[in-house]
Amino acid sequence: MATFYEKNGGCIEKKNGVQQVDPEDIITWITYIKEEKPRKRSDISDEKWNEVIAKTDALLIVDKDKKNKCSGEKMIDARNDICNIIGMWYDLLLKTYNTHNTRLSYNKRFKNFGELYEEMTKNKSVEGRVYVLAKDHYGMTADEVGSLFVYKFKRNRTVHKKSLEKGETKPVLSQQLQNALELLQLVTDQPSDFPIAFEKCAKCVYGSS
């Protein structure tokens, strides 16, 4: 059977077997060299279509008429959604901690989960109370809570990269600005006025003054 690649905007990925091909999708098939110019599936007879997809040395690129997110984008979205849900649970755990530790003085309560987590890393007593509350109120073991912490931390470390933090010398700042502007080439779904706006934004962030 032919090898299939599906193209969604600037994203192209290999597919296993025949996928959903809509009438308005643009089909490009290749047998080491491009056999014919790209055309819509609706312009290709079923006889010709079946002949082409039966070839084991054919490569078909389906340029989708209705653009969808590629698997990489879906994975990023899913990871972000998972972390948002974990963050919502953090808020519940924080509220539970502050509510059920009634003997604590006001300055021992925490305004946000970041403060509570930081205290957990320094104070075993606080860490223990958090794990007990997570077990009693949410049915989670210490290992399960730790797993959530690690997952969200790894994601945040990926999103909030240290390499994006403003450098201290002009050469470093110049390179950071160049790298920032090159990101625009990787993002295809931009409003028409976005590149100019982002360029001004990046110059403000990485300006040497």
Residues 130 and 184 in one domain: no
Contacts of 173 (CB under 8 A, 6+ apart): 166, 167, 206, 207, 208
Residues 155 and 167 in one domain: no
Structural domain boundaries, residue 196: 163-206
Residues 81 and 137 in one domain: yes
Residues 174 and 133 in one domain: no
Residues 54 and 94 in one domain: no
Q: What does DSSP assign to residue 3?
A: E
Residues 113 and 135 in one domain: yes
| CA pair distance 118, 115, nearest whole angstrom | 5
Q: What does DSSP assign to residue 8?
A: E
30-77: pLDDT as tens digits: 876 777 889 999 999 999 999 989 988 888 888 888 888 777 788 888
Residues 76 and 154 in one domain: yes
Contacts of 67 (CB under 8 A, 6+ apart): 8, 9
Q: Which of 63, 82, 103 is at the close of a domain?
A: 63
Question: Total structural domains in the chain?
Answer: 3
- Is the full-model pTM beyond 0.75? no
Residues 24 and 93 in one domain: no
Residues 142 and 172 in one domain: no
Average pLDDT of span 138-162:
89
Q: Which of 141, 159, 177 is at the close of a domain?
A: 159
| CA pair distance 83, 20, nearest whole angstrom | 31
Residues 15 and 41 in one domain: yes
Q: What angle do CA 161, 174, 205 make, to 5 degrees?
A: 55
85-140: pLDDT as tens digits: 999 999 999 999 998 876 665 557 888 999 999 999 999 988 999 999 999 999 99
6-38: pLDDT as tens digits: 888 777 888 877 778 899 999 988 876 777 889
| CA pair distance 208, 16, nearest whole angstrom | 50
Residues 174 and 154 in one domain: no
Residues 122 and 179 in one domain: no
DSSP string, 97-120: HHHH-TTS-GGGS-SSHHHHHHHH
> Which of 67, 72, 73, 55 is closest to 18 using CA atoms?
55
